[in-house]
Structure 1
């Protein structure tokens, strides 16, 4: 029988670390949304999504 384990962690960043985390997550969201829009545009125009190839 396969059992999965999960771990929960709670972070207590100092103000400088919290600011850096917000900045990093903001950049990640921007990049994700940018390429999601590109994928949607390509799919609407060609019927095929973008690929890594």
Structure 2
């Protein structure tokens, strides 16, 4: 993480950390439904039981991580402006 943060500073950007236990692969990136059955790492693909959207585990997690990082950045900006 330190190397990643060093590289980010070098290129004028930053690293946003999300919570270690954020359920990125268990949360539907479309409707937000959390499906705990995907905790099993052998589950590589799943369909949301709430909205029916098909997910690749890793792509869905990446979408959720990006969205969470954007929320954290927005909160940081709002706190700075307050």
TM-score by length of 2: 0.34
Cα distance in 2 for partners of 1:35, 1:26 equals 14
1 or 2 for the larger relative contact order (CA 8 Å, sep ≥6)?
2
Is 2:65 the partner of 1:26?
yes
Moved over 3 A (4+): none
Aligned residues: 33
- In structure 2, stretches of 5+ residues that fail to align are 1-32, 34-47
Max radius of gyration: which structure? 1
| Structure whose residues are more often helix by fraction | 1
TM-score by length of 1: 0.51
The RMSD of aligned alpha carbons is 2.4
